[in-house]
Structure 1
């Protein structure tokens, strides 16, 4: 599989990223390349490696029509992007612990006895978590994978925009998902930029960091 990457260095990727709201509608990202972007993005860390992120890739006209009424003031991104990514956190991600840790054993990353002790300890930990603590955990993990997704997209020559303004209480059910299990983290548009985005400023490190 051949993919085109616009940027080659970390600084180019990070410093060249902009939040883009209008995209070239003639550019479509193939399923194969989107798979590669997602695969790289999910190398992000997560709490006890339970990887609670779930991605809904909305690219068809019908799916975008379903999304549009829920996207509030972000209609340009929906209409012009190659795809809209809705990122959810799975509150039942513990169900995947055997699959994740079992595969680690198969690959020789850990012995079976370590896997068993880890899963037992993780299950006990999650059993004592409140719903709010669990939501906080998956939202933090979701933020980590979201940023990695956007930087990976940039490395592939695409642009993105993180979006928090949408109907979070309706989006899961609109796409046939269990709203009590999957909580929305954010949406992200992705495509080839059709504008340059906006320059923005950041507070200096002296204002935001303290050394002790």
Structure 2
């Protein structure tokens, strides 16, 4: 793992802002992009299903393809970013669930009783689930890993912009994915901010007005 450029949690989290104009001359290697994705996937997921899938778009051809389903106001962060990572929820991740936990068992991390308990408790829940349940579950998982990816990008010395301004009906087939399996969640543009980029530092709502205690 490469050394993180920014390992100050408070700066990584509280100084994060969405960037829409990037320095188009900055390139992020695919090796580093893959490393950031690997680090982001330490995020939690429902029943450890890890229902996320990543499409990395870092070529002019890929960006042109993405723009076919993206709203025009998001074209600047497509055109200028070093890469866009599109997150799609995998509604069939449970189909490999048995294999994942079998490997955990074979590695000696859990015993047979624990393995049987996991497979008999959680797997039937997903095998019998409705499409709506699976879609929501995968969307939540992707949201968790997306936030982690935003922070990881800052730790690597980059900035990012999460966005969902695309046609939800066409984005999945536009990116070459199976529309019966994958659901769109969001895209994240990554790179170095343009030198003339003016960051809008918005205020947050008063957390007290959004909180209830029971």
TM-score by length of 2: 0.93
Superposed CA offset, 1:75-101 (max 9, x none):
001100011111000110101212321
- Name which of structure 1's ranges 129-138 and 99-108 shifts more when overlaid on structure 2: 99-108
Unaligned runs of 5+ in 1: none
Superposed CA offset, 1:121-150 (max 9, x none):
222111332111111111111111110010
Tell me which residue corresponds to 1:36. 35
For 2:176 and 2:205, how far apart are their aligned partners in 1? 41
**Do the aligned residues in 1 keep the contact of 2:94 with 2:127 (CA within 8 Å)?**
no
2:53 match: secondary structure? strand
Q: 1:103 to 1:182 in 2, by over 3 A?
A: same
**Do the aligned residues in 2 keep the contact of 1:20 with 1:161 (CA within 8 Å)?**
yes
For 1:205 and 1:120, how far apart are their aligned partners in 2? 40
Q: How does 1:53-202 map to 2 (within 5 A)?
A: 53-72=52-71, 73-194=73-194, 195-202=197-204
**Do the aligned residues in 2 keep the contact of 1:13 with 1:154 (CA within 8 Å)?**
yes
Q: How does 1:9-28 map to 2 (within 5 A)?
A: 9-28=8-27
**Do the aligned residues in 1 keep the contact of 2:69 with 2:174 (CA within 8 Å)?**
no
Superposed CA offset, 1:11-34 (max 9, x none):
110111111001111111111111
1:180 match: secondary structure? coil
**Do the aligned residues in 2 keep the contact of 1:3 with 1:33 (CA within 8 Å)?**
no
**How many Å apart are 1:3 and its aligned residue?**
4.9
1:57 match: secondary structure? strand
**How many Å apart are 1:196 and its aligned residue?**
4.1
**How many Å apart are 1:103 and its aligned residue?**
2.5
| CA RMSD across the alignment | 1.5
Superposed CA offset, 1:26-76 (max 9, x none):
111111111111011001111100000000000111111111121112000
The answer to whether structure 1 residue 210 and structure 2 residue 209 are counterparts is no
For 1:87 and 1:56, how far apart are their aligned partners in 2? 7
TM-score by length of 1: 0.94
For 2:157 and 2:202, how far apart are their aligned partners in 1? 21
